[in-house]
Amino acid sequence: MLLRTARSLTANPCDAEDLLQTALTKTFMAWERIEDHRALDGYVRRALLNTRTSQWRKRKVDEFACEELPEPVGLPEPDPADRQVLHDAMWRAVMKLPERQRQMVVLRYYEDLSEAQTAEVLGVSVGTVKSAVSRALGKLREDPELTPAR
């Protein structure tokens, strides 16, 4: 569980392991000062956060000034017309959903409400929102208009 916390604080799994090892070492070094040994998880989590914050503040900047900026490497921007076609196809697929599922999908993904907020707006339980949205997304995945050609 502590490794999962460390992984959420870093982008690299190896860095997460190093971070956790450092936090555990700090915990061991402070063992005499820790009054409640039942709360070690919280102490180690705080050590993880403090260590990561210190690393972030001390990070080495590998940037340097140059005469010309290099061209960005990556994928070209998609054609706006293709994006609009996909957007229209997605909206048509959403409109095919039953009304209740459509309401939940629109609130969750178009209005960016949380599951709890969606449940509150519709007067249903969070579990109802989760299951209905899951079924709706399954239907959208099966829609032939949205399935990429193979």
E strand or H helix at 117: helix 115-122
Q: Which helix (H) or strand (E) holds 75?
A: none
Q: Between 149 and 116, where is the model more confident? A: 116
Domain boundaries, the chain: 2-57, 80-142
- What's the pLDDT tens digit per position in 6-22? 888 887 888 889 989 99
Q: What is the DSSP string of 53-97?
A: HHHHHTPPP-----SSPPPPPSPPPPPHHHHHHHHHHHHHHHHHS
Stated pTM of the model: 0.47
Q: Which fold has domain 80-142?
A: Arc Repressor Mutant, subunit A (1.10.10)
